[in-house]
Structure 1
């Protein structure tokens, strides 16, 4: 997810709106729910960040106080709910996210575009390190999906996990093929390209 979501909503803003779409909650309940549902796979999460988002959304009129809970000697807890404006903002942002294709800049693409600037063996070793991390990530997401399936969680609540598994599986297959060709020197690396270009150091025109 990009740093700023559609229609001006930041990723964590949309996540808070989504939780309040379910029911009124106090911020700490949102923190607990976000941890329980592993929402850190979707956005960067910090406890204080959710409180800041709640304050900001309140200032914008997207959420409002539903009630203030008081239990014995425990501190008061303010429960928030979506306003009509909040529901409209939530829907507009979600519709745009589902339909639009924003320009994103994954670090992996940048790394691959510049990989030729390293010796082939070094680039291959680093890609193998990345591959190992991707395999671990795939295993974690797969385990989350399997656990949800065992608990009877309907697929509709974990569509992002299915997409992530498909994406990681495809990326790993592509990366394995690349590493295999690198090991067999079946891909022209920078020295080979420069040699073929009559020993010139200019790489003009060498781009997509």
Structure 2
């Protein structure tokens, strides 16, 4: 992990780092493709479909009461599809090989760019009281602490910064593990509910912060 490798890692953090090294590849364009670091390489989770479907219907009812929020939500989902961050499932995996994530809107009135953000809930409990996040390893914190960053910022006369557009979405999740990121959606309540698969690293999953920072370091 380089000269900044953290010390005193937990057993899980070491396993998560080893999992990244062993299972991360890059495609022809250089884009990272990762596998989700599942504890003991075996998913222990019950039914997630029923809860996700109930919460989707609840989301629809709430959006009908707020047309402006609904338009923003539709815009977000449409962009997700257009950018190939998710795809429509034509053949569903077995229940034992799939996880359905609920989603909802978070509104930040102080944001100047995107006041509405869709959050995918990887911590929702399944029928056996375990969530997707309960099954995932959490990697170590590998970015420098804030004090070190500020100190370095004050060292030189000139400073360069950059922003990575849709940072988490630049990283793809391999197809098998993307089945653990299924969601329900339909653009209108008079259409059938459809199942989509999220193809990129999902903010809100336990190892997402580690993975995105680790890819930057790599």
Normalized per residue, the structure richer in helix is: 1
- TM-score, structure 1 as length reference: 0.20
Normalized per residue, the structure richer in strand is: 2
- TM-score, structure 2 as length reference: 0.20
Please tell me whether Structure 1 or Structure 2 has the larger radius of gyration of its CA atoms. 1
**Structure of greater relative contact order (alpha carbons < 8 Å, 6+ residues apart):** 2
